[in-house]
Structure 1
Amino acid sequence: MLLERPTENGARRTPLYRRAGFLRALSPVALLLIWQIGSTSGWIPAKKLPAPSKVIDAGLEIYRSGQLTDAVLVSGGRALYGFALGAALALVLGVFAGLSKIGEYAVDPPLQMIRTIPLFGLIPLFIIWFGIGEEPKVYLIALGVFFPLYLNTFSGIRQLDPKLLELGGALHLSLAERLRLLILPGALPQILVGVRQSLGIAWLSLIVAEQINASAGLGFVVNNAREFLRTDIVVFGLVIYSLLGLLTDSIVRLLERRALRWRPALHR
């Protein structure tokens, strides 16, 4: 068969076109080609959406000026601090609400009420409370991160096999030992799903948060480019946001494969 080669033991390797990485790369490459062709042929107005080659040139311009590295470090720091704060609170409250009825009744109802409030609608309130410095940016990211991870942690714990919890009682394990040995490992698949969702929302929240009087970071670069009608730099900034999100998601997927290597479905 085309693109198949026998291995040393006579078995055939997976065809190239079936490999996951090859398949995942096809659609982005095709979109880039369509975008480039549409721009060079005039179908896509350059003022509204520059060609990929122009976006790359703009990126090189920013990189050579030294702005790109500084901007990525500043924005990455904001996303990291916000994610760490939101994730820590989500895990603590998710475990508390998931393990006890008192925790569920005390914690879950108000959180469900807050969850229905549009995140970005809170920006004016955050500015009144925390000013226009770094605090509202970090807290906005933390709030966006919080709910997906909290919901998945709560759900993962509630879906645990009751026999697993009974085992902890039969072995006379302390609460800390039950959490470490039984509860968190059992809920880990669901928690990791929440981590991936939260990371995606962290970068989405960052894009909006950096519109709050940012004096550094990718948002600052994008806002400056908008003022001078540099659409190529604006698009490049959005591409960097997406690449950072893809990078962090890939890291979590790698950790997921390692932490859940006992699950056969992950190795298919």
Structure 2
Amino acid sequence: MPKLRAETHQPVSVADAPELVLVQPEAERRRGLPRPLRRAIGPVLLVALWHVLSVTGVLPPTVLAGPATVLSSAASLWATGELQAAILASLGRAASGLAIGGTIGISLAVISGLFRLGEDLVDSTMQMLRTVPNIALIPLFIIWFGIGEAPKVALIALATAFPLYLNVYAGIRNVDQTLVEAARTLGLSRPAMIRHVILPGALPNALVGLRYSLGVAWLALVFGEQVNATAGVGYLMNNAREFFQTDVIVVCLVVYALLGLIVDFIVRLLERLLLAWRPAFSGA
């Protein structure tokens, strides 16, 4: 029978220990400028080109005012308080329409996505109505609601309801079936399964629908504020159009763009907070 040989372990000194090397991801090694600066390069170049064309006379002021004139007009509107009042009025309309349309769209999507009977009763109607151009309904809204704030809010609500409905419905129906079966195997009740499995699984699609709905809300707001508006960014734009003030028109367009950019940034923050559990590809 072979004899067992005892092995002696010599203590390893710190100097003999292998050196730990920090491995840096390839994306970080190739990173140059910070992302906010890189994202700003395109808009800065566009404004610089606009300025050059205005200074050289390629773009006359009657066609498009230059950046310096636009900034001066924006400062004047801000000093008089007109711009702040217009922004608040437009934000109020957009928020009211999004709240109404979002509530309707999400509620119908949950009913249609969770229940087959709900899908049979709701989905075909929603698919039919979403193909109707929203702008074509403005005359009916004026007849139904008058020429006050109601038709503007109704137009925004209608425009924002369908993107949220489609994305939330798709998110619910695209939840991994194996997760649902695992929840049933663990004995989760139907309300608990909806809360802990289905709704979190549908959240990414819901946030995509929210981002799309916010973009559509600004588009509907532009059309809605053409209907006998007495306040708002669209009201300023209409007055500027009558007096051929291209600088004020550009100020209003920039305000629409900045508001859309701000709300999109807010939704991106929500995605980072609510979807921190879901690793995703962030670009090479």
Match of 2:32 among 16, 34, 37: 16
Give the whole-Å Cα distance in 1 for the aligned partners of 2:194 and 2:67: 49
The match for 1:59 is 74
> Which residues of structure 2 form unaligned runs of 5+?
1-21
Aligned residues: 259
Q: Are positions 1:226 and 2:241 aligned together? A: yes
1:267 is displaced (CA, Å) by: 6.0
1:15 shift after superposition: 3.7
Q: Which moved more, 1:103-112 or 1:194-203?
A: 103-112
Q: Amino acid of the residue matched to residue 242 of structure 1?
A: A
Match of 1:83 among 93, 98, 108: 98
Measure, in 2, the Cα distance between the counterparts of 1:53 and 1:226. 20
Q: TM-score, with normalisation over the residues of structure 1?
A: 0.91
Cα deviation 1:93-140 (Å, max 9, x = unaligned): 111111122111111111111111111111111111111111110110
**1:23 positional shift:** 1.9
Partner residue, 1:5: none
**Aligned residue identity for 1:245:** G
| Deviation (angstroms), 1:172 | 4.4
* Residue 173 of structure 1: how far off its partner (Å): 3.9
Aligned-pair CA distance for 1:171: 4.4
Please state how far the C-alpha of 1:210 moved relative to its aligned partner: 0.5
- Identical positions, percent: 49
Letter matched to residue 32 of structure 2: L
> Given the superposition, is the C-alpha separation of residues 89 and 172 from structure 1 closer, same or farther in structure 2, using an over 3 Å criterion?
farther
1:149: which partner in 2? 164
Q: CA deviation at 1:207?
A: 0.8
The answer as to whether partners of 1:16 and 1:22 remain within 8 angstroms in 2 is: no
TM-score where L is the length of structure 2 = 0.86
| Cα distance, 1:13 vs structure 2 | 6.1
* Separation in 2, partners of 1:242, 1:258: 25
The match for 1:112 among 127, 146, 151 is 127
Structure 1 gap ranges (5+): 1-8
Structure whose residues are more often helix by fraction: 1
Letter in 2 for 1:70: A
Q: Which structure has the larger Rg over C-alpha atoms?
A: 2
Residue of structure 1 equivalent to 2:112: 97
1:159 aligns with 2:174: yes
1:32-87: CA deviation from partner (whole Å, max 9, x where unpaired):
00011001101112111111111111111100011111111111011001111111
3-state DSSP of counterpart to 1:265: coil
Partner Cα separation in structure 2 for residue 230 and residue 175 of structure 1: 60
> 1:16 is aligned with what amino acid?
G
Partner of 2:152: 137
Task: Return the alpha-carbon distance in structure 1 between the equivalents of residues 109 and 179 of structure 2.
Answer: 19
